[in-house]
Amino acid sequence: MPAIADRLKHVSISASAAMTQRARDLAAQGIGVISLSAGEPDFPTPAHATEAAHAAALAGDTKYPSMDGTPALKAAISRKFKRDNNLDYDASQIVVCGGGKQVIFNAILATCNPGDEVVIPTPSWISYADIVRFAGAVPVPVACPQQTGFKIRPEDLEAAITPRTKWLFLNFPNNPTGAACSREEMKAIAEVMLRHPDVWIMTDDIYEHLIYDGFEFCTIAEVEPRLYDRVLTMNGASKAYAMTGWRLGFCGGPKDLIKAISNVNGQNGGGTATVVQAAAVAVLDGPQDLLKERAAIYKQRRDFVLGKLAEIDGIRCHKPEGAFYIFPNIAGLLGRTSKGGRKIETDTDFVMALVEEHHVATVQGAAYGMSPFFRISYATSMEKLDEACARLSQFCADLR
């Protein structure tokens, strides 16, 4: 049998996807599992997006798409960047891909050579490091501890940059912690990066509209215009508009970088589905009221879950400023044994025992590069959150 490529030896299966699949497997067995593992909105896609896709299909807009995005969508993205971020990107500075993940994948493959380094504030989304490894580059995690609000300290960032550094990744609001960066904190990061003119900056703004308590979102190219020519500003339709299954991501950046990303895009995808692009035009140019309405619902859910977690001995939580995740610290629960006889030595032990014994699916912090934590996604109904928190509380109470 032919051998599998070496490049896959250090690329792992997503832990969140694996746990979500475990929840589905249990459900298929008739077990009433509650999944808090998927980073997926439970809201429906806005009706006007679906209608736009349907209209495009009926109108015959079903041929090969433009490789880097339709003119209509690129114009809508340009308007979005100006409206939401005060950033000017023309059509030649924008590329559309099959999801935000593909934007990141294409950008790294377009720029990284074997041995190049990519600085990743950690905890971080699972796929960042794997995409970097796939390209033959080296992920350089920089710990962002709970006591700093899970945000990178300028001195730690400075220490992580070497002559081989090609990229810095930024993701605020953050997956898995929900942490967001204030303008002052982002300015401090920018000051470091101004001293390193050979390093690109990728900012994953996919949770931009999910912010709470009056927090104001900012992105680094807006905060420090002198970095504009080195920043790739990435976003998409998945989280804000509940369009995860549509697979639509986009980015704005310097023309030469965008051209290189588009080249890779043409080889691994060939363009994004025409009807999906029509739907994206509709949501980006359409009414934006639903963003605040849904954010208000997420905030209610966040506060509910935080309140329930505060009642559990052994768990400590940072109050997230955005996204739809909570990243509880379970150091106070390690070394115990579950009612089912499982020894809880790590956060992986914790989440596996929780799903097997009380049928609540979450994701271990180790998957995101920081232990002992676990990630809860509250992108589900209050009814399910209430039951899941009750099960979690009972599980923890039974630990001995």
For 6-44+290-397, which CATH superfamily applies? Aspartate Aminotransferase, domain 1 (3.90.1150.10)
CATH class for the region spanning 47-285: alpha beta
More confident call, 223 vs 66: 223
What φ, ψ does residue 386 adopt, rounded to 5°?
Answer: -60, -50
Looking at residue 222, its pLDDT comes to 98
| Residue ranges per structural domain of the chain | 6-44+290-397, 47-285
Going from the C-alpha of 102 to that of each of 6, 130, 265, the distances in angstroms are 21, 13, 8
Looking at residue 348, its pLDDT comes to 93
131 vs 148: CA distance, rounded Å: 27
Residue 25 has pLDDT above 90, yes or no: no
Residue 12 has pLDDT above 80, yes or no: no
Mean pLDDT of 307-320: 97
What predicted TM-score, i.e. pTM, was given to this entire model? 0.95
pLDDT tens profile 258-289 = 999 999 999 988 899 999 999 999 999 999 99
In this structure, how many other beta carbons lie within 10 angstroms of the beta carbon of residue 285?
18
| 325 three-class SS | strand
Residue 21 has pLDDT above 90, yes or no: no
